[in-house]
A and B are shown apart, each in its own frame.
Chain A
Amino acid sequence: MKQRAIFILPLIVFCIIGFYLAKGLTLDPKKMPSMLDGKPVPTFSLPPIKGRDNNGFSQNHLLDKVALVNIFGSWCVACRIEHPFLMQLSELSNTPIHGINWREENPDSGPEWLKRHGDPYEFVGDDPRSKAAIAFGVTGAPETFLVDQEGIIRYKHVGPLDLQTWRGILWPLIQKLSHKNIPRGTL
């Protein structure tokens, strides 16, 4: 009997492996975890992009209000798809949207792109060398972070933002966070 058990062992091992292989088919190995959820925004300080004379974009701009931080670039096709929705959002909602203009080889391309497609952003920082992008753990554009009034990252959305995500996830989350109403901004 003991002898038999040894002969069944390979089959058992294979069943375990097979189970995981089957499960693996339903998973996306390229999907990255969101590491910074619930953590404070990283320290970063970006210079302004051309044509915007305010003082760039840094973590200090994220300390009084629930806000969205959007990573975009003129080279990014998906950002082009996302952009009209951001424009709409900036008009209809009072949640500020900030931009990180990521990895422009030519410093003019970002501003030109915004001129052509509209500019939904309150603050925009220029990030040609991925300083802020890496600090945020960005892997591709577009990505959007929801940051609460205490400067804590609450949600990370990978890919173009759309109405569905906004209604389903972001808006309820913003509602919840706003009710906490901690007057951190006065500090």
Chain B
Amino acid sequence: MRISILTIAFSALLLADSLAVEPSEILDDPRHESRARELSKALRCVVCQNQSIDDSDAALARDMRILVRERITAGDSNEEVLDYVVLRYGDFVLLKPPFKKTTLVLWLGPILMFGMALLGALLFFRRQKSATSLMKCDPSAELDETERKRLNALLGGQKK
């Protein structure tokens, strides 16, 4: 059993060693070809582990590259080509997930997190500021825990 699992892992790596686009596939029109390459890089190979069809030497990936080229030659726009594939294989084939309800968190998450981090920093500075102003305005105020700790540290930190 374990050997068969290993074989699968091996075949996965085998796919990693790829010699993708073959000369025979290349379109004569360089503008079509460069569009084809761009699209191939955006489409996931459905039988591989995690590769675009541009990187993969799997037979189905090659056939899909050819399909992409045929569609382009037939006059499809980039969106039409992608739609054709997505209709059949789902959003799974898009290496750049589309912006929709299920991917909202994915696309907005990073910006939100950055915003939250900035907000956190802002609060941090505000709290710090209020702590300092408190110290300045009210010299009779008792030491707060921070200050006590600091005092301890200054005294050599014997008391913990």
A residues contacting B by CB (< 8 A) are 32-33, 35-36, 39, 42, 103, 129-131, 133-137, 139-140
> In the complex the two chains form, is A36's CB within 8 Å of B63's CB?
no
> In the complex the two chains form, is A35's CB within 8 Å of B87's CB?
yes
Nearest opposing residue in chain B for A103, CB measure: B59
Enumerate B31-76 residues with CB–CB distance to A below 8 Å. 46-47, 59-60, 63-64, 66-67
Chain A facing B: main interface SS: loop
* Bound-state Cα–Cα, A127 to B63, Å: 11
> In the complex the two chains form, is A134's CB within 8 Å of B63's CB?
yes
Binds A, one of B15-23, B88-96, B133-141, B149-157: B88-96
Nearest opposing residue in chain B for A34, CB measure: B90
> In the complex the two chains form, is A42's CB within 8 Å of B67's CB?
no
* Bound-state Cα–Cα, A129 to B46, Å: 16
* Bound-state Cα–Cα, A33 to B86, Å: 11
> In the complex the two chains form, is B63's CB within 8 Å of A32's CB?
no
Residues of A within 8 A of B87 (CB): 35-36, 39
Nearest opposing residue in chain B for A75, CB measure: B59
> In the complex the two chains form, is A140's CB within 8 Å of B88's CB?
no
9 A–B pairs (Cβ distance < 8 Å), ordered by A: A32-B90, A32-B92, A35-B89, A42-B88, A103-B59, A130-B59, A134-B60, A135-B88, A137-B88
> In the complex the two chains form, is B88's CB within 8 Å of A130's CB?
no
Residues of B within 8 A of A139 (CB): 46-47, 60, 89
Nearest opposing residue in chain A for B64, CB measure: A134
> In the complex the two chains form, is A137's CB within 8 Å of B89's CB?
yes
B residues contacting A by CB (< 8 A) are 46-47, 59-60, 63-64, 66-67, 85, 87-90, 92
> In the complex the two chains form, is B64's CB within 8 Å of A32's CB?
no
- The contact of A129 among B47, B66, B88, by CB within 8 Å, is B66
> In the complex the two chains form, is B63's CB within 8 Å of A129's CB?
yes
Query: Within the complex, what minimum Cβ distance (angstroms) separates A114 from chain B?
Result: 21
Shortest Cβ-Cβ A-B pairs, 3 listed: A137-B88, A130-B63, A139-B46
> In the complex the two chains form, is B89's CB within 8 Å of A130's CB?
no
* Bound-state Cα–Cα, A133 to B47, Å: 13
Query: Within the complex, what minimum Cβ distance (angstroms) separates B107 from chain A?
Result: 18
Using known A-B contacts A32-B92, A33-B92, A35-B90, determine if residue A130 contacts B46 with beta carbons closer than 8 Å.
no
> In the complex the two chains form, is B92's CB within 8 Å of A136's CB?
no
Residues of A within 8 A of B64 (CB): 130, 134
Residues of B within 8 A of A134 (CB): 60, 63-64, 67, 85, 88
Residues of B within 8 A of A35 (CB): 87-90
* Bound-state Cα–Cα, A152 to B119, Å: 53
* Bound-state Cα–Cα, A35 to B89, Å: 6
Query: Within the complex, what minimum Cβ distance (angstroms) separates B149 from chain A?
Result: 15
Nearest opposing residue in chain A for B61, CB measure: A130
Which of A103, A130, A135 is most buried by chain B, counting CB atoms within 10 A of its CB? A130
Using known A-B contacts A129-B63, A134-B63, determine if residue A36 contacts B88 with beta carbons closer than 8 Å.
yes
